[in-house]
Each structure stands twice: as C-alpha cells, then as structure tokens.
Amino acid sequence: MAYHSGPDRDGSNDDGGLAALIYDPKARGLLFQTIMLLAVIGFFAWILDNTVSNLAAQNKKSGFGFLDESSGFQILTTLGTYLIESRPGVATYFDIFWIGVINTLAVAVVGIILATILGFVIGIFRLSSNIILRGFATVYIELLRNIPLLLQILFFYIVVLRILPGKREEGYTLFNGAFGLNIEGLFAPYPVVREGIGTVLLAFIGAIILAWIIAWLAKKRQEATGKQFPSFWVGVALIIAIPLVVFHSIGEPMNLEYPRFLNAGDELPNGRTASKLQAGYDIKLGGMVVVPEFLALLLALSLYTASFIAEIVRAGILAVPSGQTEASKALGMSNGHNLRLVVIPQALRVIIPPLTSQYLNLTKNSSLAVAIAYPDIVSVFAGTALNQVGQEIEMIFMMMMVYLVISLVTSAFMNWFNDRMRLVER
C-alpha cells in the first residue's frame, strides 16, 4: 500500500474504501470533531445527571423559589441597606442579593477611583528627579505589592479600630459637628430633599452641557486663531455656580440633617433619658454613617491596587520616547504642560489595557470583605443567606454571574476608552 505522507487533495486514492476515508483530512477532521463534540456533550450530561441524582439523594431543594422567602437576619448599615429594604422578616432573599451587589459595587467603584488617582501620583513620583519623592514611591510600591492583601485588610481594620476614639466619645469632629469620626464609623449629614430638587438637578445637567459647549467653542477658536481660553476653570465655575444660584432662588429644596451625638442622660424623642449604652451618635435622630468596615476595606483595596497601578503608569511613561519630552522642551513648554499634553496622552495608550485588569482585580479582591464583616455579596448572600437556604448551586451561580457582569461591563467600558485614546493615525 502506498503510504501518503502528504494530504491527498484530489481524493484519487487508488486504495479506495474506508482507509481512504481515514486518510482524507476533511473526513478525518469531521470524525474527530464529532467525537469531541459527543465527548463534551456527554461530559455535561454526566455532570448534570450526577448533580440531579445527588441532590435528590440528599433531599435538597432546587430552583429559585427561595428568592421570594423572607430572611431573618439583620445586616450592617451600609449603602445597600440605605437603598434596599433590609428589615429582617420583611426583606426577601432577593433583597439580600441586591444589598450584597450594591455593597460590592460601592466598594469597587470608590476603590477604583481612589486607586487610580493614588496610582498615578505614586507612579509619577517614582520617576521624579526629587530623591525623597522617588524613594517614598519605591518603598511604597515594594512594601504594599509584596504583602498578601488579606493581611493588609485585617491590619488596616485592626489599626482603624485601635486608633479611633470609642463610641461614647464624639471623636474627631469637623464643621461644628457636621462630621464626626469614632469607632462606629464616619458620621455625616444626611441630605433630606423636598420638591424642587429636580429643577436643581436640571440646572446641574444644563451647566455641564454649557461647559462642554464652551470648551468646544474655545477649542475651535484656538485652532482658528491660536488664542487660548481657560475653558476648564470657567467650566468648573459654571457647574458649581449655576445649580447653586438656582438652589437658592427657588427656596433651598434640600437641607442637611446633622448627626446627633447623645450623652448619657440626654433626653430622647420618646421622653426617656439616654442610658449609658445609648450614648454615642444615633443615626435614627439624624445623619448617616459610613462604617469602619467599609473604610478599612476601601483603604486596603485602594492602597494595594495603587501600588500595581503606579508601576503600570511608570512603565507607560517610560514607553514614551524621551525625544518627545526634548521636543516639547525645545518648544518652550513647561514641565506641567509637557506631562499633561505630551507625555500622558501617549503613555495612556500603554497604560489602559493593564489598568483594566487591575480594576477587575480590585473588584474581585473586594470579596475578602467577609473577613472584616463588610456585607458584600460573598459575605451576605453566598455566606449568611446560603447557610439559611442551603442551595449552593443556585446561589453560587448567581454570585458568579454578578462578578461576570461587573467584569464584562468594566472591560467593555475600558475598551471603548482605549479606542478613544488610540493615536489617530493620519
């Protein structure tokens, strides 16, 4: 039999029959793909069957009916419990799910903003010619990058708790009691809005549009005449001033409820006096609280991620050829202008893709919250609620979907941003 070392393209194999079919690359490909497909389908069918029979053997419930049942546990005061019904006995497991989602998003979004700002600053410090700044940035990066995040979270939490004054003390206050900070958290004024706040919101949106138009006109004029206009600062002024004027002229449709601090013996609204235990800030009487669990988690996540972002920023800046800086110096640009107008726009092209994965990391790392009692989705839904309901598969699946959606949306946004920042090639 003639053995074909190469593919038999014309199919004119003299042997004919089955053997020919096996040596025909097309048929062979088809055969193996079919086998592969069957194996994959079989694998999933096996897993499905196994699961169903295991669940049946253990008498476990399945399906998503549990989401309508009411839960019986209290959740720490956080953004989620401000926005969603959380009273035990009233809140359903679906409410609990959303509280977890909101809390995860809250720490992720604020953390990403802080980490980005801090990361850029440290990254630029790292390249500074000032030896103190450079040294500080180097130590910061090497220290934070190399200590496990969970340890840092626990460390910040315990440090935060140890530093802050006790809950029966007013602690650090600001603006005449508008803000107070003690071990129970950061107390801040709570905005109570009345009718008319919509008008102020409209004024705010109008001001943004106006600022944008001015910036656009200024750019056109600069392109035409070369004259510059401080459109950024004018825009900022407009965005602050216009809503403020509207706010006052229609009679201030919002006021701030300040946090109330009670001393033992103070009179309560129900006529009784506050006990020794009731002394402290009471958010039922006004104001709101940001708990130390959130503060510690936020601090740890953003400081840790900033150390990675700083290195990304440094790499991005170093990737811009030094000729660019030399050229802008030759044109008489200041250091600030050079950085802002020449170096950073070019560096961003290198920075954005790895930055995206740092954002995703921060979001996923926020699941360490459970260690310090911050009620994120892992802690409150895949933790406490899962222990009451016991439907691991459904609940873990929902949790995975949350992280998947957050990750996909983040990547989509960053890809869009990356496209915008790409060098427009002419």
Partner 1 sequence: MKLRSAMGALTALGLVMTASAATADTLADVVGNGSVQCGVSQGLPGFSNKDDAGNWTGIDVDFCRGVAAAVFGDAQAVKFTPLSAKERFTALSSGEVDILSRNTTWTMTRDTQLGLNFAGVNYYDGQGMMVPNSLGVTAATELDGASICTNTGTTTELNITDFFRSNNMSFELVAFEKADEVVAAYDSGRCDVYTTDKSGIAAQRLKLADPDAHTILPETISKEPLGPVVRQGDDQWFNIVRWTLNCMINAEEMGVTSNNVSNMLNSDNPGIKRLLGTEGTFGENIGVSNGWCANIIEQVGNYGETYEANVGANTPLKLARDGSVNALWTQGGLMYAPPIR
Residues lying near partner 1 in the complex (CB under 8 A) are found at 40, 44, 47-48, 50-51, 53-55, 57-61, 72-77, 88-89, 154, 157-158, 161-162, 166-167, 183-184, 275-278, 280, 282, 284, 292-293, 370-373, 375, 379, 383-384, 386-390, 392-393, 396-397, 400-401, 404
Q: Which is nearer to partner 1, 91 or 348 (CB)?
A: 91
* Gap between the terminal Cα atoms of the chain: 61
- For tokens 């220290």, the residue is 143
Q: Which is nearer to partner 1, 183 or 350 (CB)?
A: 183
Instruction: Output the smallest distance, CB 362 to partner 1, in A.
Output: 20
Instruction: Output the smallest distance, CB 353 to partner 1, in A.
Output: 23
Instruction: Output the smallest distance, CB 165 to partner 1, in A.
Output: 9
Kindly state the tokens that stand for 11.
Answer: 């199919």
Alpha carbon distance 92, 170 (integer Å): 36
Instruction: Output the smallest distance, CB 27 to partner 1, in A.
Output: 23
Q: Which is nearer to partner 1, 50 or 249 (CB)?
A: 50
Alpha carbon distance 204, 184 (integer Å): 34
How far, in Å, are 98, 168, 312, 375 from residue 294 at the CA level? 17, 20, 27, 9
Kindly state the tokens that stand for 146.
Answer: 């190399």
Q: Which is nearer to partner 1, 33 or 275 (CB)?
A: 275
Instruction: Output the smallest distance, CB 42 to partner 1, in A.
Output: 12
Q: Which is nearer to partner 1, 22 or 393 (CB)?
A: 393
Q: Which is nearer to partner 1, 362 or 399 (CB)?
A: 399
Instruction: Output the smallest distance, CB 292 to partner 1, in A.
Output: 7
Q: Which residues contact 344 (CB under 8 A, 6 or more apart)?
A: 317
To 10 degrees, what angle do helices 197-225 and 231-249 make? 160
Which segments of 254-343 does DSSP mark as H helices, in order? 292-318, 322-330, 335-337
Instruction: Output the smallest distance, CB 161 to partner 1, in A.
Output: 4
Q: Which is nearer to partner 1, 160 or 313 (CB)?
A: 160
Instruction: Output the smallest distance, CB 45 to partner 1, in A.
Output: 10
Q: Which is nearer to partner 1, 80 or 375 (CB)?
A: 375
Instruction: Output the smallest distance, CB 68 to partner 1, in A.
Output: 15
CA angle 395, 398, 402 (to 5 degrees): 140
Cα dihedral sign, 406-407-409-414: positive
Kindly state the tokens that stand for 306.
Answer: 């900033």
How far, in Å, are 356, 406, 409, 417 from residue 413 at the CA level? 9, 11, 6, 6
- Strand 280-282 with 288-290, pairing: unpaired
Cβ burial, residue 145 (10 Å; 0-12/13-18/19+) = middle
Instruction: Output the smallest distance, CB 380 to partner 1, in A.
Output: 8
Q: Which is nearer to partner 1, 119 or 292 (CB)?
A: 292
Report the half-sphere exposure of 170 (CA within 13 A, side-chain side): 12
Alpha carbon distance 150, 160 (integer Å): 15
Q: Which is nearer to partner 1, 57 or 423 (CB)?
A: 57
Q: How far is CA 251 from the centre of its chain?
A: 36
